[in-house]
Structure formats: C-alpha cells, structure tokens
Structure 1
Amino acid sequence: MSHPTAQEQILDFVRGRYPQAEIDAAQDIFALGFVNSLFAMELVMYVEKTFDVTIPNEELQIDNFRSATAMAGLVARLSPTVAAA
C-alpha cells in the first residue's frame, strides 16, 4: 500500500474543512473564498505538523498556500524526502 503524497494529504485536509465543495489540487482556495485569516494559520500549522517542517518567515507568502499543489511544492522544498505529488 502506498503512502499518500503531500499534495493528497493537503487536499484531503482542505476538503475535510469544506466537504460540500469540489476542490482539486490546482484550484486557488483563496480566490474561491475558502480561506480566512484563521484557516490560513491552520494551514500553516497543519503543514508544519504533518510534514515535520518549519516554514521560515520568507516562505509565509500567499502564493505558497493558494493550492494543494503550491503547498506540496513548499513542503518538497523544505523537506526533500517528502513526496510532493
């Protein structure tokens, strides 16, 4: 059995928060209106805890959190041993 990729795990987290929405990995969850300031912080904490990374201040940019794909890319940059997609 294979382990889910970072992108799949992040997408599952976002979908779990908004089960009524059909969200794919490339969609901009900020543009769709799913992210408020509280959920943005939850995303940061989720990524750090789940993938055992520390996100440096210079990486706390909206573009790194717009989609599951972008967040998986961030994880891959911070932890090269984690499969992004």
Structure 2
Amino acid sequence: MAALVSRLAETLPEARGAALQETDDLRQFAGFDSLGILETLVWLESEFDITIPDEDLDVENFQSVGRMADFVLTHR
C-alpha cells in the first residue's frame, strides 16, 4: 500500500503532504480525472505485473487506495 500512496502523491499534486487514508475517495482530487486514472492503471499493471481486463475498468475498483490494493491482490 505504501507504493500506491507514494505513486498517488507523485501524480496528484494536491495529495502531496496529505496523509492519504485507505478509504479516502480519490475522486475528490482534481488530478484524479480520466487521464490521472489511466496513468494510475498503467502504473498498476507495470508495477505489479498484472493485466486489468476491460470488464474491470470501473472507477469503483480504483476510487481509493484500499480498493486498488484489494484489486491488485486479487489479480496477482
């Protein structure tokens, strides 16, 4: 989870210095728009050697650090 928080701090300038919690809704950050989500998904696939199937491309799966971590764990 630390890798996810670190990555999000890089891509979401407004999250820098914020203590992101596992359940924080990332959609509250302006940088977590369609491009920010896409960049995060590409990073998740590369970093954790997973493939995100088209049918799983639902923002609900990636709206928080906790949900991303759960997704990665179930797809490894």
TM range (shorter): 0.7 to 0.9
What amino acid sits opposite 1:61 in the alignment? D
Q: Which has the higher contact order (CA 8 A, sep 6+)?
A: 1
In 1, distance between residues paired with 2:25 and 2:3?
Answer: 16
Query: Which residue number corresponds to residue 54 of structure 1?
Result: 51
Structure 1 ranges of 4+ moved more than 4 A:
none
1:24 aligned residue (1, 21, 46): 21
Mapped contact 1:11–1:25 kept (Cα < 8 A): no
Query: Which residue number corresponds to residue 8 of structure 1?
Result: 2
Instruction: Give percent identity, aligned residues only.
Output: 26
Compute the TM-score of the two structures, normalised by the length of structure 2.
0.84
More helix as a share of residues: 2
C-alpha RMSD of the superposition: 1.5
Compute the TM-score of the two structures, normalised by the length of structure 1.
0.76
Tell me which structure has the larger Cα radius of gyration: 1
Are 1:75 and 2:72 an aligned pair? yes
Cα deviation per residue 1:8-58 (whole Å; 9 max; x = unaligned)?
A: 211111122321444222201013444111101001101000000000011
What amino acid sits opposite 1:14 in the alignment? L
Number of residue-to-residue matches in the alignment: 73
1:63 aligned residue (38, 60, 64): 60
